[in-house]
Amino acid sequence: MRTLTNDNYIASRKRIGQIFSFLGIGVLLAGFVLTFTAEEGSQLSYLSLFSLPLGWILSQVGLYFANRLIKQPVVHEAIDDGLRKLGKYGHDSHMYHYIFPINHVVLTPNGIMALVAKYQSGTISADDVTWKQKIGIFQRFFGQQTLGNPTLEAENGVKQIAKWISHNVPELAEQELPIGAAIVFTANDVELDVKASAIPAVHHTKLKGFWKQRQTDTPMDPEHFEKLLKAFNTAATEVDASES
């Protein structure tokens, strides 16, 4: 499987994550100090009230990017690791990271797959379109974002890819292209009960087996595949994506 990654996007978001994390910690520390040292009713005491929520917001922005692009395992690297050595099942397949409106997209001769990556840990379960996550209170407020609804994200990802194709490959806009979605969990310390999910969901270590099951002997129209491949690779070239 050929992999194309927008390294510029990753590098810039890493910097943002690091800068906001340091700023958040600095503002929080300053706020705590002012809380205990500033005279009541002074301008510094009011500043401490403002600095605490500001510091929390800054740190959360930093964590948003750090959890995806710095914390191990890094999301896109975990996906790549799960899809390595697919053999014939990865033949002529192309993985694109941070190039399209949805972050992780696979183009294969059988169709297009939008991958919704989730780094969250804890105990996660799914019942059709309903998701539940059990994590500690401290972790919920300071360690990671809540899970959200991966099903809605996956459905939206399919719509975004279809919209991108209609704008960039207009001759295929009216074609019924096989566009699917899957939810991929990348954390090492996550427990999954997701067999009942409305959208296929899997841990990244089991991506290889999942991928083999999803492949069919009925490929899409070869002409459609070549047009999509050309458009996808052009998009990757425009963002100067690196290949691996």
Domain identity same for 31 and 88? no
For the CA atoms of 183, 188, 190, 194, what is the dihedral angle to 10 degrees? 30
Quote the tokens at residue 230. Answer: 């050309």
Domain identity same for 181 and 198? yes
Domain identity same for 77 and 58? no
How far is Cα 138 from Cα 232, in angstroms, rounded to an integer? 41
Q: Give the number of domains in the chain.
A: 2
3 state DSSP class of 223: helix
3 state DSSP class of 29: helix
Count of other CB atoms within 10 angstroms of residue 49? 13
CB of 24 closer than 8 Å to CB of 116: no
pLDDT number for residue 71: 86
pLDDT in tens, 94-119: 999 999 999 999 999 989 999 999 99
Residues of the chain with pLDDT under 50: none
Domain identity same for 97 and 182? yes
How far is Cα 153 from Cα 150, in angstroms, rounded to an integer? 5
Burial class (CB in 10 A: 0-12, 13-18, 19+), 232: buried
What does 46-83 look like in DSSP terms, one character per residue?
Answer: HHHHHHHHHHHHHHHHHHHHHHHHTSSSPHHHHHHHHH
Task: Identify the domain boundary among 17, 50, 69.
Answer: 69
Task: Identify the domain boundary among 18, 50, 69.
Answer: 69
Is residue 1 assigned to a domain?
no
Domain identity same for 114 and 35? no
The type of residue at 198 is A
3 state DSSP class of 201: strand
Domain identity same for 35 and 131? no
Task: Identify the domain boundary among 69, 100, 121.
Answer: 69
Domain identity same for 41 and 145? no
Is residue 133 assigned to a domain?
yes
Domain identity same for 118 and 147? yes
pLDDT number for residue 97: 97
CA distances from 139 to 7, 13, 120, 134, 189 (A): 29, 22, 10, 10, 13
Expressed as residue numbers, the domain containing 45 is: 7-69
Domain identity same for 157 and 57? no
